[in-house]
Chains A and B, each alone.
Chain A
C-alpha cells in the first residue's frame, strides 16, 4: 500500500500530520516508534522576535469546539533554532516549520535563518492568525498573499506552504493567488473569527475579546472549502478543521486534500493522529485501494 505523499520535492511517508500549535510537548509522550507514525511534525508558529502571548483567559470551550486567542506565544526564531529545532530533528519525522511575521522583510529574514539551520521538509506561512489585532490579515487579501509567498519562494530552500484563513468571501481566489506566486501547497483552514460572551459579567470569555473557533464544530465548513478549492488549484492541499477521527480525515482526503492535519482534537485525544492513520489504512484496505492517490479527490460530483 502506497500512502506516501509529496509537497514540492519533500516526501512524506504518510498523509497524517498535526496542525501548528496543537502538538507542543506531546512528542515527549509518544514512544519513539509511535511518533514516527506521523507523516510530518508541525511545531507551534514561530515569529522573528519573542512574543509573550495574550493575557488570559486564552481559551474557551464552545459547542463541539473551542475559541482560542493565545497570541502566538513563542521564544522567537533564534531561540527556536538553537533550543527546539535540534530536539525536533532528532525525532526523525519530516518537519514543517510554521512562521508568521508582520512584514515581508521579516518573513524573508526568518526563512534565511531556517535555510541556514537546514534539514526541514517545508515552511508553512501562517498568513491567517486572526489574533494579532490587525484590520485585514494577509490571508484575507489575494494580492498580499501573492506578494508574501513570492518573496518567500525567492529565498526559501524548502517547499513553501501557505496557510489560508477561512475568514474570506472566496477562499479559492486566495488559494489561486498563493499558487500563482509559486506556493508548493496550501493548508486550510485556520480558525474562524469568533467570540463567546459571559452573560453574567457581560464580558467576552476571551481576554483578547475575540478569538478563533476550531474543533468539530467547524469541520463541515472546512470540508466544503477544501472541496471547492481542490478543483481550482493544482498544488496539494493540507486539509484541517475539526478532525477527530479517521472518518473525519477521510472526508478531507475524498474532498481533495493530499494531507490531513489533526489540530484541536489533539487536546482531547492526544493519540488521535495515530488512530487517524490506522483508520485511513483500514479504509483503503477495505476498499481495495493500493495507492492513496485513488482516495484523494475521489468525491463523486
Chain B
C-alpha cells in the first residue's frame, strides 16, 4: 500500500498563491499523481527553503486536490509558513506525500456528517466535502475562528452542499463564543459521524460531546514534526493506547482514543 519514496518525494511547480483574507493564504501546485492519491486528513510535508533554515519540513493537510493541482490552506504564523507566502508561480517545491492515515469515509448507512473545524483546522474538510459530494448524508460544518479576520466566505463548502455555521470568540461573525456553542445547531441522528480538526482545547470539547451522545468521531491532530514518516518518534502524543506518532499512526485518530491533558 505504501508508495515508494521515489513516488512520494517529488519536486512540483507552484501554480498560484492566493491571499484569502487578512489571515489566510492558499497555495497550489501542479501535482497530478499526488492530487489523485491524497485522501482527506492526509498531509504533505513541504521543504519551504533550500538551505537549513528553517531546518524541518512543514506539514500541511491538503485543502483541495483537483484538476491535477494540490492546494493547501494556511496561516503564516511561523518561520516556515511565512516563507511560503513569498512563493511565486513557477517556483519549485520539494514535497513528501501523501503521508499519514486519512479520515475514514462514512459508510452508506451514515445519514449525517458533522465537520468541526477550528481556524486553519478547517482545511481537510474542503477536500473531504469534495469527496462526499455524491454521498447522500446531510453535511454540516461547524467553524470556529477567533475574529472576523479568521473567517472567510464558505461558498465552496456551500457549493458542496455543506450547511455552515460559524462562531467567533468576539462575536464579530456568527455566534459569539467557542465552536462548542454551535453544537446545538445540529439535530443529531443515531448514525451521525463527527470529524474534527483544530486546536486541542476545541477537539477536547468535541470529544466530550461525542462521548456524551454516544457518537463515533475522528480527529486530525497536529504536532511539531520532523520526519513525517514515523522514524523519529518526535511528534508522539498520548493516546489511550500509549504514545502514538501523529505523522505515521495518525494524523487521524479515533476521537475517543485521544488523551487531553
Q: CB distance A267 to B56 under 8 Å? A: yes
B235 at the binding interface (Cβ < 8 Å): yes
Give Cα A198–Cα B259 distance, bound, in whole angstroms: 24
Q: CB distance A56 to B57 under 8 Å? A: no
Given A25, A44, A61, A73, which contacts B224 in the complex, CB threshold below 8 Å?
Answer: A61
B2 at the binding interface (Cβ < 8 Å): yes
A86 at the binding interface (Cβ < 8 Å): no
Stretch at the interface among A27-35, A113-121, A146-154: A27-35
Given A24, A25, A34, A268, which contacts B6 in the complex, CB threshold below 8 Å?
Answer: A34
Give Cα A55–Cα B230 distance, bound, in whole angstroms: 17
Q: CB distance A56 to B237 under 8 Å? A: yes
Taking CB atoms, residues of chain A closer than 8 Å to B234 are: 58-59, 68, 70, 267
Given A44, A58, A264, A266, which contacts B236 in the complex, CB threshold below 8 Å?
Answer: A58
Per-residue 0/1 for B66-110: is the Cβ within 8 Å of any A Cβ (1 yes, 0 no)?
A: 000000000000000000000000000000100000000000000
Closest approach, in angstroms, between the C-beta of A287 and any C-beta of chain B?
27
Closest approach, in angstroms, between the C-beta of A63 and any C-beta of chain B?
7
Give Cα A215–Cα B232 distance, bound, in whole angstroms: 13
In the complex with contacts A29-B5, A270-B5, A271-B5, A60-B224 CB distance below 8 A: yes
Q: CB distance A29 to B2 under 8 Å? A: yes
Q: Could you tell me which residues of chain A, from 54 to 86, have a CB within 8 Å of some CB in chain B?
A: 55-66, 68, 70, 73
Residue of A nearest to B247 (CB): A25
Per-residue 0/1 for A84-120: is the Cβ within 8 Å of any B Cβ (1 yes, 0 no)?
A: 0000000000000000000000000000000000000
B4 at the binding interface (Cβ < 8 Å): yes
Give Cα A23–Cα B234 distance, bound, in whole angstroms: 13
Q: CB distance A26 to B55 under 8 Å? A: no
Residue of B nearest to A72 (CB): B233
Q: CB distance A268 to B5 under 8 Å? A: no
Q: Which of A26, A28, A44, A271 has the most CB of B within 10 A?
A: A28
Q: CB distance B52 to A215 under 8 Å? A: yes
Closest approach, in angstroms, between the C-beta of A234 and any C-beta of chain B?
34
Give Cα A215–Cα B230 distance, bound, in whole angstroms: 18
Q: Which of A29, A60, A65 has the most CB of B within 10 A?
A: A29
B256 at the binding interface (Cβ < 8 Å): no
Q: CB distance B232 to A53 under 8 Å? A: no
Q: Could you tell me which residues of chain B, from 204 to 236, have a CB within 8 Å of some CB in chain A?
A: 223-224, 226-236
Give Cα A55–Cα B233 distance, bound, in whole angstroms: 11
Residue of B nearest to A21 (CB): B232
Give Cα A70–Cα B53 distance, bound, in whole angstroms: 23
Give Cα A283–Cα B122 distance, bound, in whole angstroms: 49
Taking CB atoms, residues of chain A closer than 8 Å to B237 are: 56
In the complex with contacts A29-B3, A59-B235, A24-B229 CB distance below 8 A: yes
Given B52, B57, B227, which contacts A216 in the complex, CB threshold below 8 Å?
Answer: B52
Give Cα A186–Cα B9 distance, bound, in whole angstroms: 33
Closest approach, in angstroms, between the C-beta of B157 and any C-beta of chain A?
32
In the complex with contacts A29-B5, A266-B227, A70-B55 CB distance below 8 A: no
The binding surface of chain B is classed by DSSP as loop
Give Cα A99–Cα B56 distance, bound, in whole angstroms: 27
Taking CB atoms, residues of chain B closer than 8 Å to A21 are: 231-233
B139 at the binding interface (Cβ < 8 Å): no
In the complex with contacts A53-B243, A267-B226, A29-B8 CB distance below 8 A: yes
Given B8, B53, B230, B243, which contacts A24 in the complex, CB threshold below 8 Å?
Answer: B230
B153 at the binding interface (Cβ < 8 Å): no
Q: CB distance A29 to B229 under 8 Å? A: yes
Q: CB distance B53 to A64 under 8 Å? A: yes
Given B4, B47, B55, B242, which contacts A65 in the complex, CB threshold below 8 Å?
Answer: B55
Taking CB atoms, residues of chain B closer than 8 Å to A30 are: 4-5
Q: CB distance B53 to A63 under 8 Å? A: yes
B201 at the binding interface (Cβ < 8 Å): no
Give Cα A105–Cα B2 distance, bound, in whole angstroms: 40
Taking CB atoms, residues of chain B closer than 8 Å to A173 are: none
Given A24, A34, A62, which contacts B232 in the complex, CB threshold below 8 Å?
Answer: A24
A52 at the binding interface (Cβ < 8 Å): yes
Residue of B nearest to A29 (CB): B5
Given B5, B6, B226, B235, which contacts A26 in the complex, CB threshold below 8 Å?
Answer: B5
B176 at the binding interface (Cβ < 8 Å): no
Give Cα A29–Cα B57 distance, bound, in whole angstroms: 17
Q: CB distance A25 to B52 under 8 Å? A: no
A167 at the binding interface (Cβ < 8 Å): no
Taking CB atoms, residues of chain B closer than 8 Å to A60 are: 224
Closest approach, in angstroms, between the C-beta of A47 and any C-beta of chain B?
14
Name A residues whose Cβ lies closer than 8 Å to a Cβ of B.
21-26, 28-31, 34, 44, 52-53, 55-66, 68, 70, 73, 215-216, 244, 264, 266-271
Not counting A25-B229, A267-B227, A270-B5, a sample of 15 additional A-B residue pairs whose C-beta atoms are within 8 angstroms of each other reads A21-B232, A26-B231, A31-B4, A31-B6, A44-B233, A59-B232, A64-B52, A64-B55, A65-B55, A68-B226, A70-B233, A244-B52, A267-B57, A267-B232, A269-B47
A-B interface, 10 closest residue pairs, ranked by CB to CB distance from nearest: A24-B231, A59-B234, A267-B227, A64-B52, A29-B5, A267-B226, A25-B230, A31-B4, A58-B234, A28-B2
